[in-house]
Amino acid sequence: MIYRFTCIVCPLGCTIEVEVDDDRVKAVRGHTCQRGKEWAIEEVTNPKRVVMSVIPVEGGRLPTVSVKTAEPVPKEKISELMRFLARLKVKAPVRPGEVVAEFDGVKIVATREA
Partner 1 sequence: MYDVVVIGGGPAGMAAAIKAKELGLNVLLLDENDYLGGILPQCIHPGFGIHYFREELTGPEFAHRLKERLKELRVKVKGNARVLSIENYSDLEKVVTFVSPEGIFDVRTKTIIYAAGARERHAFEIGIVGDRVAGIYTAGEAQTLMDIYGIMPGKEIVIVGSGDVGLIMARRFALEGARVKAVIELMPYPGGLARNIMILRDFNIPLYLSHKVVEVRGRGRVKRVKVVKVDENLRETGEEFWISCDTLIISAGLIPNVKLLKEVGVEIDPATGGPVVNDRLETSVPGIFVAGNALVINDLVDYVAEQGELAAEGAKEFVENEGIGTKRWIRLKRGQNVRLLAPHYLSGERDVWIYARVSKPMENVAVEFPEIGKRIRLPVVKPAEMLRIRLRKKEIARAKGAITMEVVPL
Residues at the site binding partner 1, with contacts judged by CB under 8 A: 5-8, 11-13, 49-54, 56, 61-64, 66, 68, 75, 78, 82, 96, 111-113
Q: In whole angstroms, what is the distance from residue 5 CA to residue 30 CA?
A: 10
Looking at the Cβ atoms of 41 and 111, the one nearer to partner 1 is 111
Looking at the Cβ atoms of 28 and 66, the one nearer to partner 1 is 66
Least distance to partner 1, CB of residue 99, Å: 14
* Other CB atoms within 10 Å distance of the CB of residue 37: 20
Least distance to partner 1, CB of residue 3, Å: 9
Least distance to partner 1, CB of residue 95, Å: 9
Strand ordering across the sheet containing 2-6: 2-6, 15-21, 24-29
Q: How far apart are the first and last CA of the chain?
A: 47
